[in-house]
Amino acid sequence: MRHVAVIGSGPAGYYTAEACQKTFGEDVRIDIVDRLPVPFGLIRSGVAPDHQSIKHVSRRYEAVALTDNVRFVGNVTVGEQVSIEELLGLYDAVILATGAPADRPLDIPGADLPGVVGSAAFVGWYNGHPDHEALAPVLDGPGAVVIGNGNVALDVARILAKSEAEFAGSDIVGHALERLRGHAINRVTILGRRGPHQIAMTPKELGELGHLERAAPRVDAADFPPAEADAALDPGQRKSVALLRGFAESRSDKPIEIVFDFFARPIAIEGDGRAERVIVERTALDGDGRAVGTGETYAVPAGLVVSCIGYRTPPIAGVPYDARAGRFANVEGRIAPGLYAVGWARRGPTGTIGTNRPDGFLIAEHLAEDLPQASGKPGRAGLDALLAARGADVVTFRDWQRIDKAEVERARTGAPREKFTSIETLLGARGGS
Q: Helix (H, G, I), strand (E, B), or coil: what is residue 87?
A: helix
- Four-CA torsion 410, 415, 418, 422, nearest 10 degrees: -80
- Residue from 10, 37, 217, 271 binding ligand FAD (CB under 6 A): 10
**What totals of helices (H) and strands (E) does the chain contain, helices first?**
15, 19
- Residue from 17, 37, 41, 259 binding ligand FAD (CB under 6 A): 41
Residue 324, Cβ density class (10 Å: 0-12 exposed, 13-18 middle, ≥19 buried): exposed
Binding mask 114-143 for ligand FAD (x = CB under 6 A): ---------x--------------------
Is 98 one of the binding residues for ligand FAD (CB under 6 A)?
yes
- Four-CA torsion 110, 115, 121, 127, nearest 10 degrees: -160
Is 74 one of the binding residues for ligand FAD (CB under 6 A)?
no
Which H helix or E strand runs over 116?
strand 116-118
From 19-27, 36-44, 270-278, 289-297, span contacting ligand FAD (CB under 6 A): 36-44
From 23-31, 256-264, 294-302, 342-350, span contacting ligand FAD (CB under 6 A): 342-350
From 171-179, 213-221, 263-271, 352-360, span contacting ligand FAD (CB under 6 A): 352-360
From 62-70, 232-240, 259-267, 338-346, span contacting ligand FAD (CB under 6 A): 338-346
From 24-32, 60-68, 72-80, 266-274, span contacting ligand FAD (CB under 6 A): 72-80
Dmax over Cα atoms in the chain, in whole Å? 69
Is 49 one of the binding residues for ligand FAD (CB under 6 A)?
no
Is 97 one of the binding residues for ligand FAD (CB under 6 A)?
yes
The answer to whether the beta carbons of residues 96 and 345 sit under 8 Å apart is yes
| CA–CA dist 78, 87 (Å, integer) | 9
Cβ proximity to ligand FAD, 308 vs 429, nearer residue: 308
Is 16 one of the binding residues for ligand FAD (CB under 6 A)?
no
Residue type for 321, please? Y
- Residue from 250, 297, 352, 375 binding ligand FAD (CB under 6 A): 352
Minimum distance from residue 77 beta carbon to ligand FAD (Å): 5
Is 307 one of the binding residues for ligand FAD (CB under 6 A)?
no
Q: Treating both helix axes as pointing N-terminal to C-terminal, what angle do 11-24 and 58-65 enclose, rounded to 10 degrees?
A: 40
- Residue from 5, 9, 90, 383 binding ligand FAD (CB under 6 A): 9
- Residue from 4, 5, 12, 386 binding ligand FAD (CB under 6 A): 12
| CA–CA dist 377, 69 (Å, integer) | 16
From 9-17, 266-274, 375-383, 415-423, span contacting ligand FAD (CB under 6 A): 9-17
Count CB atoms within 10 A of the CB of residue 17: 29
Minimum distance from residue 184 beta carbon to ligand FAD (Å): 24
Question: What's the DSSP call for residue 273?
Answer: S
Cβ proximity to ligand FAD, 191 vs 353, nearer residue: 353
Which contacts (CB < 8 Å, 24+ apart) does range 298-302 have? 299/270, 300/143, 300/145, 300/189, 300/191, 300/261, 301/142, 301/143, 301/187, 301/276, 301/277, 302/115, 302/143, 302/144, 302/145, 302/189, 302/269, 302/275, 302/276, 302/277, 302/278
Interacting residues toward ligand FAD by CB under 6 A = 7-13, 33-36, 41-42, 46-47, 51, 54, 77-79, 97-99, 101, 123, 152, 155, 316, 343-345, 351-353, 356
